[in-house]
Amino acid sequence: MVEFGGATGTLASLGDPERALETRKRFAHELGLRDPEITWHFARDGLCELVSLLANIGGSLGKIALDVMMMAASEFGEVAEPFVPGRGTSSTMPQKRNPISSELMFAAAKMLRERAALMLDAIMRDFERATGSWHLEWSAVPESFLLAASALHQANFMLRGLHVDSKRMPT
């Protein structure tokens, strides 16, 4: 999508509004980009939806992680994450295997929820041009992608090698 609208997105510097819109349309076409209906300066809901989607994915992964952590507890022992030498071992109980991937997924889910809340704060701004609130996006958007990618990576590793002890599960 082309961004061509001036400081506030009004195309005022191009003079006649009709000609200005046509200029932007031609500019977008020339670059092979979409001509937006409105400028990004005040259309922040798309980014908020994107981060909320990543938080929703994180919430689903967090639920899986919580279930695995609970079922992996010594009292239950129904599942165990894949064994990797030196990873997840307990400093006080050498026979115990801590659910590291699940813990990381669970933490990422909570941090993603906070980034979604931050984006909801960023949507509330003064007039058509924010005086600071859109700076929240500078951390919330890239961090959300990193957190979601990390949680998905951990989920892939953990679920591919999850050991299930069906004998310990109630029938």
**44 part of the active site:** no
Q: Which of 34, 74, 87, 90 is catalytic?
A: 90
CA angle 94, 168, 155 (to 5 degrees): 70
> In terms of C-beta density within 10 A (0-12 exposed, 13-18 middle, 19 or more buried), how is residue 82 classed?
middle
**129 part of the active site:** yes
| Distance of alpha carbon 48 from alpha carbon 144, whole angstroms | 11
Q: Which of 129, 160, 166, 168 is catalytic?
A: 129
Q: H-helix or E-strand containing 80?
A: strand 79-80
CA neighbor of 80 nearest in space, from 102, 58, 59, 63: 102
Q: Which residues are catalytic?
A: 90, 129
